[in-house]
Amino acid sequence: MTLLDLNKGEKAIISDIETEKLPFKLIEMGCLPGNEIELIQLAPFNDPMYLSVNGCRLSIRRDTAQYISICK
């Protein structure tokens, strides 16, 4: 399951990330395995996604979100 499967308002734990494809900036903001991630809001067409992770709120595009695996 990846971040794309998360519904609005849901929380999950990051289980794995594709280190090579994920922007390093996102990793440094705390997108690391074991951290909790919440989907706060989706823009129309579900893109970009507004997330809260590691106490930090940010938005990323769907093509980035596919590299983050989660378990609910």
Partner 1 sequence: MSKSINVALIGNPNTGKSSVFNDLTGLNQKVGNYPGITVEKKEGLCNLERGFKAHILDLPGTYSLNASSLDESVVIELLLNKNDKDFPNVVAVVSDVENLKRNLLLFTQIKDLGLPCILIINMSDMMKRKGISINVEVLEKQLNSKVVLYSSRNKKGIKDLKECLINYRSISKEACLSFKEIDEGYFLNLSKVFPNQNIYKLWLVITQDVNFGNVKRNDFNLTKDIETKSSSELKRLQQKETIKRYQFINSVLKLSYNVDKEKATDLGSKLDRILIHRFWGYAIFFTILLGIFQVIFDWSSLPMDFIDESFSKISSLIKETLPAGLFTDLLSEGIIPGIGGIVIFIPQIAFLFLFISIFEETGYMSRVVFLMDRTMRRFGLSGKSIVPLASGAACAIPAIMATRNIENWKQRLITILVVPFVTCSARLPVYLIMISLVIPDDRIFGINVQGLTLMGLYLIGFGAALLSAFILSKTLKIYSKSFFVVEMPNYKVPLFRNVVFTIFEKTKTFVVEAGKVILAISIILWALASFGYGEKFSNPEKFIVEEEYQNMDDFEKEILSFKLENSFLGNIGKAIEPVIQPIGYDWKIGIAVLSSFAAREVFVGTLSTIYSVDGDSEETIKSRMLNEKDENGNPVFNLASGISLMLFYAFALQCMSTLAIVKKETNSWKWPSYQFIIMGAIAYLVSLLAYQTLI
Binding interface with partner 1 (CB under 8 A): 19-20, 23-30, 32, 40-41, 43-45, 47-48, 50, 54-61, 64
Are 31 and 68 in contact by the 8 Å Cβ rule? The answer is: yes
Quick one: 1 or 32, whose CB is closer to partner 1? 32
Q: How far is CA 22 from CA 4, 9, 43, 44, in A?
A: 14, 23, 21, 23
Residue 45 CA to chain centroid, in angstroms? Answer: 17
Q: How far is the CB of 8 from partner 1 (least distance, A)?
A: 11
| Pick 10 or 47: Cβ nearer partner 1 | 47
